[in-house]
Chains A and B, each alone.
Chain A
Amino acid sequence: MSGASSWSFREEDAARIGALLNGLLREANARTALLVDRSGQMLATVGEAPRFDPVAFASLTAADFSANDQLARMLGENEFGALFHQGEKDSLYLADVARRVILVVLFDNRTTLGLVKLRVRGVVEALTAVFTAMFSRDAAGERGRGMDTGFMGEAEDEIDKLFGT
């Protein structure tokens, strides 16, 4: 067992992932694609800027996916690899990536669920490869770049200021 670990998301990871998600939006004719990690943190947003609070959205997405994961297990399934939430105008399609990240596609009636599903399938495979490489890089200790002592000092000062001394 271990203590908390951190992982890093580099500029080059973001560029590779951004290209994949932009391609998905184009091909699926969807509005926005978001990547959220399973602990509830937003990793990336591509496409139309969301009109909602992205931080709150990420925490609820992770909770939603985790709760459904447990429901799947109760049925004897390993997981529900994807979820669909249908609205009157806007709908969400959520898919698991490498068991660590959730891809969320926001779309409206300019496209169809079938097309979104179809395009997501291919992108999930490509994203899985990217994230698997990222996680093995961090696990191998290649991260190397934690936050420096200057950051720590300033962050402590901000904590004292914001939370009182």
Chain B
Amino acid sequence: MSLINYASREVNCKLVYYGPGLGGKTTNLEYIYEKVAPASKGKMISLATETERTLFFDFLPVDLGTIRGFKTRFHLYTVPGQVYYNASRKLILKGVDGVVFVADSQLERMEANLESMQNLYDNMAQHGLDLTRLPFVIQYNKRDLPNAAPLPQLQEALNPGWPVVDPARQRPVPDPNRQGEMLVEEIDGSWIERVPHFEAVALRGEGVFDTLRAISKLVLKTLG
């Protein structure tokens, strides 16, 4: 839930990186922390175990600067990916404005991806939030690995699309990030919508900022 604070003239939005364990959520934040100009970033906080696995969350505030008199800031969070940390994961989703699902492209992680996606839907629903109505993008990470699943296979499993029931929204929408692909389209007489997706190699930073830029813009649109 984004907060427009007219008293301190601030706009704050909360973005959460979700996904299976060891998928690259923390790596995304670390790369952003490393590359964003010092004046635009706050302190990065990692609540991690001794073996550097995320225990509770990572947190990184990024300032967009003052826009029309409002200091505008994105709060980036990761959740712990390991299955047994679900209680912590659910807490981090509180008040979320936008979600990035970081999927692990490796074939053998397909099941973990699916389980985490289902868990995301369930946890959002418990907060009374509908993932299909919230800014949401998917990042397919580790595209450089030899055992990475083909993109269409990942899309079919994790981003198959949901039915568009509102007649006003039943019109073709091209994917601004991928030429020739559609976000909303009619297939066999029924309209479906997919979320934007990005390929990434987060360790090298590839795709990290494309993903962040897309989710930030989607969240901004909800402030109007």
Residues of A near any B CB (own CB < 8 A): 1-11, 13-15, 37-41, 43-44, 53, 55-56, 59-60, 62-63, 66-67, 70, 145-152, 154-156, 158-160, 162-165
Are A162 and B62 touching (Cβ within 8 A)? yes
The CA-CA distance from A160 to B91 in the complex, in Å, is 31
Give every chain A residue within 8 A of B87 (Cβ-Cβ). Answer: 70
Are A39 and B37 touching (Cβ within 8 A)? no
| Contacts A55-B61, A150-B68, A158-B64 given; does A6 touch B209 at CB 8 Å | no
Nearest CB of chain B from residue A37's CB, rounded to whole Å: 6
B184-224 vs A: 1/0 string, CB under 8 Å?
00000000000000000000000001001100110111111
Nearest CB of chain B from residue A112's CB, rounded to whole Å: 31
Across chains A and B, the number of contacting residue pairs, with CB separation under 8 Å, is: 163
Give every chain B residue within 8 A of A151 (Cβ-Cβ). Answer: 67-68, 70, 223
From A38, A63, A145, A146, residue with most partner B Cβ within 10 Å: A63
Q: Tell me if B's interface is mostly helix, strand, loop or mixed.
A: mixed
| Contacts A147-B11, A159-B213 given; does A41 touch B134 at CB 8 Å | no
| Contacts A63-B56, A162-B36 given; does A152 touch B224 at CB 8 Å | yes
Are B1 and A163 touching (Cβ within 8 A)? no
The 4 closest A-B CB pairs, nearest first, are A39-B95, A14-B7, A3-B133, A1-B130
Residues of B near any A CB (own CB < 8 A): 1-8, 11-12, 14, 36-37, 40, 42-43, 45, 47, 56-57, 59, 61-62, 64-65, 67-68, 70, 72-73, 75, 77, 87-88, 91-92, 94-98, 125, 128-130, 133-135, 209, 212-213, 216-217, 219-224
Are A3 and B129 touching (Cβ within 8 A)? yes
Give every chain B residue within 8 A of A160 (Cβ-Cβ). Answer: 213
Are A147 and B224 touching (Cβ within 8 A)? yes
